[in-house]
Amino acid sequence: MVSVDGVPGRLALHGIGFPVPSGRCRCGRPARESQMAAKDEHIPITDPAPAPTPGDGLASERELWRRFSAHRDPASREELVRRYLPFAKNLALRYRGASESFDDLLQVANLGLVNAIDRFEPERGTPFAAFASPTILGELKRHFRDRVWTVRVPRGLHDRMAEVDKATSELTVALQRSPSVGEIAERLELDPADVLEVLEANHNRRPLSLDRPLGDEEEAPASEWIGDEDEGFELVEDKLTLEGVLPQLDERERLILKLRFVDDMTQSQIAEQIGHSQMHVSRILRRTLDRIREEVADRSAGERSDPDD
């Protein structure tokens, strides 16, 4: 039996390829420390990696813009879009209180972001956020003007609407009540008439359908009680027919027709005014009406024989 470090009954197995038992080896170091030291002898010693500097992120973005501007690299474009998506979302949040869905507004803002990236020129030295902000806001305003509002308003009036809405919200919080037109005008340094114009346009930009029920669904729509039948509607065709026949009458016949059917005069009154007897006026009137009936009948027959006209 061979003792290890003076402990009888233990074999010194390290010499034949087995791990050294727990305890201390002949060199006086623990076995685990000896193994770690052996491994460390084969690991090359390298310098630690340098810590990232604050300029690394900015330099990386500059490199993305360089690659995209020079080669229109799709991967660089996608990474730039991904980095500025939160910026586009913040701009879309300005219109969150509108009637439009926020998901739709976010899609419009993202589209404006992509357009801004495609048109941006880094060599000009302008920060991208300053360049992209008007582009994204313009897309959002155009979306409201062209797709959301039924009644389109001028661009200047549309811009004042956003200012009035913002001022109204701020004054409501500050005053703990709804602000007056004068207070809004004073806040925005506008004329009260301009504020009233904005409020009126904002109220009427989405007209209600006449087929929409006024109250409950069982109530009649507004189209059934708004408006009235035009009493002269049925006379339109007769009027058009007469306009084609009257030029063929002489001046005296047209005068008698006017006095009788427009001025509502009797035959005696007409005879007294034109200097003829009542009997003569009656014959002229009868002859004229018969002629008009014949002309109307001929025109109707011609229209039936030629339906393409």
pLDDT tens digits for the chain (309 residues)?
444 444 444 434 344 444 444 444 444 444 444 554 444 444 444 444 344 344 444 448 888 888 888 888 888 888 899 999 999 999 988 877 656 778 888 999 999 999 999 999 888 888 898 999 989 988 888 887 677 666 777 777 777 887 888 888 889 988 889 999 999 999 999 899 999 988 888 777 666 677 777 666 667 776 777 767 777 777 777 777 777 778 888 888 888 888 888 888 998 999 988 888 889 989 999 998 888 888 878 777 766 666 555
Establish if 49 belongs to a structural domain: no
Instruction: Say if residue 66 is in the same domain as residue 124.
Output: yes
Q: For residue 69, what pLDDT is reported? A: 84
Choosing from 109, 133, 148, the residue where a domain stops is: 148
Q: For residue 25, what pLDDT is reported? A: 45
Instruction: Say if residue 162 is in the same domain as residue 184.
Output: yes
Instruction: Say if residue 139 is in the same domain as residue 165.
Output: no
- Structural domain harbouring 33: 1-39
Q: 103 Cβ partners below 8 Å, 6+ apart?
A: none
- The type of residue at 266 is T
- Provide the angle, in degrees to the nearest 10, between the axes of the packed helices 192-203 and 181-188: 110
Establish if 51 belongs to a structural domain: no
Choosing from 103, 123, 148, the residue where a domain stops is: 148
Instruction: Say if residue 142 is in the same domain as residue 199.
Output: no
Establish if 300 belongs to a structural domain: yes
Helices and strands, number each (H, E), in the chain: 12, 0
Choosing from 119, 148, 177, the residue where a domain stops is: 148
Instruction: Say if residue 160 is in the same domain as residue 139.
Output: no
Instruction: Say if residue 121 is in the same domain as residue 76.
Output: yes
Total domains, the chain? 4
Q: Is the distance from CB of 91 to CB of 137 less than 8 angstroms?
A: yes
How many degrees, rounded to 5, is the angle at CA 209 between CA 207 and CA 215?
105
Establish if 158 belongs to a structural domain: yes
Establish if 225 belongs to a structural domain: no
Establish if 231 belongs to a structural domain: no
Instruction: Say if residue 106 is in the same domain as residue 80.
Output: yes
- 7: three-class secondary structure by DSSP: strand
Instruction: Say if residue 63 is in the same domain as residue 144.
Output: yes
CATH of the domain at 261: 1.10.10.10
Establish if 2 belongs to a structural domain: yes
Q: 259 Cβ partners below 8 Å, 6+ apart?
A: 265, 269, 270, 273, 274
Instruction: Say if residue 162 is in the same domain as residue 243.
Output: no
Instruction: Say if residue 139 is in the same domain as residue 91.
Output: yes
| C-alpha to C-alpha distances, 305 to 201, 238, 243, 299, nearest whole angstrom | 53, 20, 21, 10
Q: For residue 110, what pLDDT is reported? A: 93
| C-alpha to C-alpha distances, 66 to 59, 97, 120, 170, 292, nearest whole angstrom | 10, 38, 11, 43, 86
CA 71 to chain centre: 33
Instruction: Say if residue 89 is in the same domain as residue 137.
Output: yes
Instruction: Say if residue 139 is in the same domain as residue 162.
Output: no
CATH of the domain at 137: 1.20.120.1810
Q: What's the CA gap between 274 and 284, in Å, rounded?
A: 12
Phi, psi values for residue 7, rounded to 5°: -95, 110
Establish if 232 belongs to a structural domain: no
Structure tokens at 164: 């009035």
